[in-house]
Amino acid sequence: MAKAINEGLRSAMLADDHVMVMGEDIGQLGGVFRVTEGLQENFGPSRVVDTPLAESGIVGTAIGLAMRGYRPVCEIQFDGFVYPAFDQIVTQLAKMTARHEGTQAFPIVIRIPYGGHIGAVEHHQESPEAYFAHTAGLRVVSPATPHDAYWLIQEAIACDDPVIYLEPKSRYWHKGPVDDALAGASMGQARIAREGSDVTLVGHGAMVTVMHQAAEIAQSEGVSIEAIDLRSLSPIDYDTILASVQKTGHLVVAQEAPENASVGSEIAATLTEKAFYVMEAPVLRVSGFNTPFPPSKLENLYLPDADRILDAVDRSLAY
Amino acid sequence: MPYTDATLRLLGPDGTLVKDDRNEKYFDAIAHLSEADYREFYRVMSVVRRFDVEAGNLQRQGQMALWVPSVGQEGAQVGSAFATRGQDHIFPAYREHAAAYVKGLDLIDIIRMLRGLTNGGWDPKKTNNFHLYTLVIGSHTLHATGYAMGIGYDGACSTGNNDTDEAVLVYFGDGATSQGDTNEAMIFAQSFQTPQVFFLQNNHWAISVPVRVQSRTPLFERAAGFGMPSIQIDGNDVLMSYAATRLSMDAARSGQGPHFIEALTYRIGAHTTSDDPSKYQDDDELAFWQAHDPIDRFRTYLHGLGVEEQFFKDVATEAEDYAADIRARILALEDPPMKDIFAHVFTEDHPVITQERQWLENYTASFDEGA
């Protein structure tokens, strides 16, 4: 997937001279995950900018660059390092188009490697998506496959609104096909990752892989799971989810993020409003705990796995 | 004393020119100004001061949620703003009414924002690149630096042509120097050698906290820590403000990197209409700065040049007319339409916004007669 994002960035930079990438260690090193590897060599240091080590500075200067007509793609090195930039993202970037009454677009993409499963140290495995999904003026997306990673990054860059692009870092090394053409879902749309008929399972990013594992196990036990890869966390594609629960009557939402006031909570609330009479059980959430991300030797207990998802599936079906 | 040995000025507090071995190049920088330019400096300072007082009164009468006075800082603002060139970009904080006037902003647009009609107020593309006010202290310094980085990437500076090379002027206050963003802006500016000038209006107060709490060091000396050329000027000397900004902006636009100016001035009165400076401002300090008023000083200078009394009377009349016009126009302002809540949150379609807008339209329509 890292290679797919790299190719997507390269395509966008070839297509538009005003696309530039900026962040810490992204030039010669190619980023700590090598997502920008080779780009500075190809496009030079003024389009692939190694910045000082200051996240607020990265996003704040990107805002000024957007005013100048650039389309900056900012890399935040790790999920837990985005908070020094939080003020510039939430207070400034998200409100800038409205404050300018539409006279100035802010086509800025903020790439953030996020999530667990890699055994990393503190602040390197978090899932901060709810903060951004809560904020008006931001679009939030997360690919689960190399194909989506390749196309979503290009759509995010082409979008005139600010986009938070969350990269499930544990999937960086995952190989998969990338179609030459933008096929299937586009930005803002969810994707049916696996068709099924008994229970709808919704998730995003690295959780989609776990959902597939759960669906395989369920299949062997005679339960058919329909897995939906959200792809977009703001806005959420409710049409796809609602169509699925019309069929299944059961919904389980899986996420790595802590449960309280999460994207999963929002989906549960909305389904209660929009699908109360077709639901045969309450929407169940399977999430990270409402704790700091634990020391990584405990992450397998913290992160939802196939068994925890299947436990929720069983509880849903038992209603 | 509020001034230091390092403080540069051209016009002394008594309204006469002060020539010494340090300020010769600054005199050179104003040599091209004519008496007509001086009259214009005086006119703008006076009109904006009168506007400012009127706006404060209008707030007290309930016409605005808040007013942010600029009284006392006109010299720093008018000199620096006049020193910019047409192709330059200005990133203000939120108290730069006089600079806004110089760049052609209709000051009713500031009132519209503080009245609650808009969160922005103008389109910088139509106000000679005078950008929006930013209320979160120091945030805009990074936007200014980013913009200046873009000028560099575009090759729109450093050609040696002062009439086309672009640069950025960013205003901020002494409180903002404590913000991380302001320091990051200076770091990025130095790293990328941006064409920009950091213009600090040290008005001695961040609401109620004096500048000595923000810094144990004269603030212009901080710039040296970033490796940035910096000077401290008498911000109530409009000519020095012009000269310092002119030279610094032209140096920045020509490829010499970012520059820093600390303009010593004073906030005569409140931070905003929401506070009471009598609770914290020292009477003697206030009296000192009132005696160093930038407009009074410049009036004395113009008198010395032989400017006729009628000019000052005409300016006073114009200022009264401007204030009356603002009063009439604010009373005629209409509230924004309901759709403005949803307009421009995104540039492209967004299902949640569409749904909520439709809901509110239907909800409000349900109260219409006959519905």
- Coarse DSSP helix, strand, coil percentages of chain B, rounded to the nearest 5 percent: 50, 10, 40
Name, in order, each residue with C-beta under 8 angstroms of A205's C-beta and a sequence gap of 6 or more.
A114, A115, A127, A142, A143, A144, A166, A168, A171, A256
Residue A103 contacts B, CB cutoff 8 Å:
yes
Q: Residue B371: pLDDT band by 50, 70, 90 thresholds?
A: low
Which residues of chain B lie closer than 8 angstroms to A100, CB-CB? 120, 123-124, 132, 344
Residue A64 contacts B, CB cutoff 8 Å:
yes
- Looking at chain A from residue 230 to 259, which residues have their Cβ under 8 Å from any Cβ of chain B? 235
The answer to whether the Cβ–Cβ distance between B191 and A52 falls below 8 Å is yes
Rg of the Cα trace of chain A?
19
* Chains A–B, number of C-beta pairs less than 8 Å apart: 137
| B147 to chain A: closest CA residue | A64
> Regarding the domain delimited by A191-317, which CATH topology (the fold level of the hierarchy) does it fall under?
Rossmann fold (3.40.50)
Residue with tokens 């749309």: A189
Task: Provide the residue count of chain B.
Answer: 371
Q: Residue B274: pLDDT band by 50, 70, 90 thresholds?
A: confident
pLDDT in tens, chain A (319 residues): 999 999 999 999 999 999 999 999 999 999 999 999 999 999 999 999 999 999 999 999 999 999 999 999 999 999 999 999 999 999 999 999 999 999 999 999 999 999 999 999 999 999 999 999 999 999 999 999 999 999 999 999 999 999 999 999 999 999 999 998 877 789 999 999 999 999 999 999 999 999 999 999 999 999 999 999 999 999 999 999 999 999 999 999 999 999 999 999 999 999 999 999 999 999 999 999 999 999 999 999 999 999 999 999 999 999 9
In this predicted complex, what is the ipTM? 0.97
A250 is catalytic: no
Name, in order, each residue with C-beta under 8 angstroms of A130's C-beta and a sequence gap of 6 or more.
A257, A261, A262, A263
Half-sphere exposure of residue B252: CA atoms within 13 angstroms, side-chain side: 37
* CA A281 – CA A317 distance, rounded (Å): 7
pLDDT at position B1 over 60: no
Question: Considering only CA atoms, which of A4, A6, A20 is closest in space to residue A70?
Answer: A20
Cβ atoms B79, B48 nearer than 8 A: no
How many of the other CB atoms lie within 10 Å of CB of A35? 27
| B144 to chain A: closest CA residue | A64
Which pLDDT belongs to residue B369?
74
C-alpha distance across the termini of chain A, in Å: 39
* CA B231 – CA B331 distance, rounded (Å): 44
How many of the other CB atoms lie within 10 Å of CB of B129? 21
Tokens of B79: 């000199």
Which residues of chain B lie closer than 8 angstroms to A136, CB-CB? 345
Tokens of A171: 């999937």
Q: Residue B370: pLDDT band by 50, 70, 90 thresholds?
A: low
The answer to whether the Cβ–Cβ distance between B147 and A68 falls below 8 Å is yes
Which helix H or strand E contains A202, and what residues bound it?
strand A199-203
Instruction: Decide which of A5 and B368 is more confident.
Output: A5
What is the residue-averaged pLDDT of chain B?
Answer: 96
* CA A125 – CA A101 distance, rounded (Å): 37
Listed by start position, the domains of chain A span 2-171, 191-317
**Of residues A61, A101, A137, nearest to B145 (C-beta):** A61
Residue A17 contacts B, CB cutoff 8 Å:
no
The answer to whether the Cβ–Cβ distance between B184 and A137 falls below 8 Å is no
Residue with tokens 């300016």: B315
* Average pLDDT over every residue of B156-160: 97
Q: How far is B140 from chain A (nearest CA, A)?
A: 8
Treating both helix axes as pointing N-terminal to C-terminal, what angle do B108-115 and B35-60 enclose, rounded to 10 degrees? 20
Residue A186 contacts B, CB cutoff 8 Å:
no
Rg of the Cα trace of chain B?
22
Cβ atoms B86, B128 nearer than 8 A: yes
Question: Considering only CA atoms, which of B118, B89, B97, B116 is closest in space to residue B44?
Answer: B97
Residue A56 contacts B, CB cutoff 8 Å:
yes
Type of residue at A148:
D
Which pLDDT belongs to residue A45?
97
Q: How far is A292 from chain B (nearest CA, A)?
A: 26
Interface probe, candidates A22, A101, A233, A270, chain B, greatest B C-beta count within 10 A: A101
DSSP state letters, A58-115: HHHHHHHHHHTT-EEEEEPSSGGGSGGGHHIIIIIIHHHHHHTTTSS----EEEEEE-
> Regarding the domain delimited by A2-171, which CATH topology (the fold level of the hierarchy) does it fall under?
Rossmann fold (3.40.50)
Beta bridge partners of B197: B169, B259
The answer to whether the Cβ–Cβ distance between B184 and A60 falls below 8 Å is yes
Largest CA distance in chain B: 82
| A238 to chain B: closest CA residue | B351
Residue A220 contacts B, CB cutoff 8 Å:
no
Q: How far is A285 from chain B (nearest CA, A)?
A: 23
CA B337 to chain centre: 30
Q: Write the pLDDT tens digit of every residue in A134-150.
A: 999 999 999 999 999 99
Out of A117, A123, A124, A134, pick the active-site residue. A124
Strands A232-234 and A139-141: antiparallel
* CA B141 – CA B120 distance, rounded (Å): 17
Q: Write the pLDDT tens digit of every residue in B117-141.
A: 999 999 999 999 999 999 999 999 9
Q: In chain B, how many H helices and how many E strands?
A: 14, 7
